[in-house]
Chain A
Amino acid sequence: MEHFVEIKPGRKLLKRIFLSINLWFVGKAIQAAAKVDDEVKQEFDALPDGFTFSLGAFPNGPYMVVGKNEKGVVKYMGSKIDTVRLDMKMSLKSIECLFLLFTFQESTPVANSMDRLYVDGDIPHACSIVRIMDIVQVYLLPKFIAKLAIKRYPKWSLKRHTWNRLMVNLRAIAGF
């Protein structure tokens, strides 16, 4: 029929690459912060051993997976969600919504309040993960950007702001 077309909408490669890199780095940074930062450590301690979670875009990613093994060690576990058993899945409704989040046009609370973010899993665990990610954002981002991403910029000690920040970033890049 002349007035009819069937279209298979393609990909968004640039956004996908940009977001994959960001997610990879955030995943690594969470792993690093769990070693360096006491508050992040405490939050992870409260989560059950073997707890894994993902953050990504519906329906085909990109994703990052972070988990805590039986010994309580927190590890970035890659970008595939189908090879691991997930206890919690945080998804943005589309890759565009994830892009808004990672370009700081919308903060996590804002994305959440606009129904762009949904969580599959236990709510108290989700609360811990959001707090962990808030802290990690403070480590990774300059203050004026982090302020857009979180509700209340924390008052930290000088050591936490300098030495810990350096360590989190170094470990995230070096991957140890």
Chain B
Amino acid sequence: MENSSFEYLCRTKTGFGKNALDHLPSDLSAMDAKKPFVITSKAVAQSGVTAHLIDAFKESGIILGIWDNALNDNLVDTLRDLTDLYNNKGFDAIIALGGGVVADLSKILNIIVSKGPHALKECKGTDNIDAPLKPLVYIPSGICTGRETSRYACVAEYAYDSQFLMPDIAVIDPRMFSKAPWEDMVNEALRSFTNCLESYAKEDNPLIRSYAYTALGVIMEALPNIMESDLPNNNQSQDQEHLPLLAKASVINGYLISNCDTLVCRPLGKMISEKCSAPEGVCMAIILPYVLEFLCKDRETGRILLPLAGIERYCAIPDTQRFGKVLFIIREIINDFFRISNGRVPRTLEEAGLKQEDLAGIVESMSKRTDIESKALALILDNAMSGRSMTSS
């Protein structure tokens, strides 16, 4: 293990928990930011959580600008308007409050206001930003995917990949979460779970393992709550407790995907999801056990039980049985979701609605992105279609 070399970078300072927002005026001032520009969406603004943000700035003397019209379309025009607003009003930092669209807009706006309008084109692509941008804060308020805190940003044809796009601060304050559809929560949980477990399993990088270990611990704590909440029927979460936990895992997931560019389940799950009815996170989780079995076939892998089981249970299970237990836990989670959602969360790709004839196309596109042989990819997908275990084929 010690033979390899590794890199890791997380530029973001993360604040988790009670009264987290109240640290923000002081933290912004430490970065010399005097007038932050809050970017959010109508949905977030209407949920009322902006009141908590404003409250946190009371007594601080800091004036906030709030813009709440982040939508999925016309993003390039929107960016132009936002740039004018930012410059005319004299803002010097950005607070992204919400989910993916808000974060993408904020990151790209930050490139423009830090580097000038020409940067929109010049900084496209990978590693084309060579210095820190203006202070950027990310505050999740519901479902997030992890991209928000990652080094990636994309609006229409403008895609960026730079360490300087990771926010300076991520703030997870339980007050900022209201409700979210149950199935979105399941999807978010499974997405973070899959990325974290895969990176824990395959990266010989103790920093990646540390972050993944933490996020997996959080997810394992949140999962029973999500399952027991008996929510798939009314489709709305009334309980605010597990949303911040999930956001915490997603934020860490963002740090991880910025540092492991060879993850298999993430791109593969996305391709599958585009061809069927199930969302990305669910597809990723369905293929996870097969991918793990493939990745771990020649390696000592019992260790990946540790973040799922905790020290006590991990030590109690004999070494030779640990990897099997990992697969068991993953399948149990998927089966439980299937059961309590009355089959709406699928267990296999077939149940997800993927058609046999789409497999070849997915294998072909995926084999261009990874060094795993097409034959192996086909085997993974084939087994995941029916839910067969790898060892039996």
Contacts and interface: CB of A to CB of B under 8 A. Distances in A.
Interface of A: 1, 3-12, 16, 57-60, 93-97, 100, 115-116
Contact of A115 (B23, B55, B62, B64): B23
B91 to A, nearest CB: 10
Contacts of B180: none
Contact of A7 (B25, B59, B61, B64): B64
B22 A9 contact: no
A93 B18 CA distance: 14
Contact of B58 (A1, A3, A9): A9
A96 B60 CA distance: 11
Nearest to B26: A93
B330 interface: no
Contact of A97 (B22, B61, B65): B22
Contact of A9 (B26, B60, B85): B60
Nearest to A3: B69
B54 A7 contact: yes
Contact of B54 (A4, A9, A96, A115): A9
A4 B67 contact: yes
A6 B22 contact: no
B19 A100 contact: yes
B63 A58 contact: no
Nearest to B60: A59
Contacts of B63: 6-9
Contact of B25 (A4, A8, A59): A59
Contacts of B57: 9
B295 interface: no
B370 interface: no
A1 B66 contact: no
Contacts of B61: 59-60
Contacts of A97: 19, 22-23
A93 B69 contact: no
A94 B81 contact: no
Given A3-B69, A4-B65, A4-B66, A12 B59 contact: yes
Interface string B47-81: 00000001111111111111111000000000001
Contacts of A16: 59
Contact of A12 (B27, B29, B58, B62): B58
Contacts of B66: 4-7
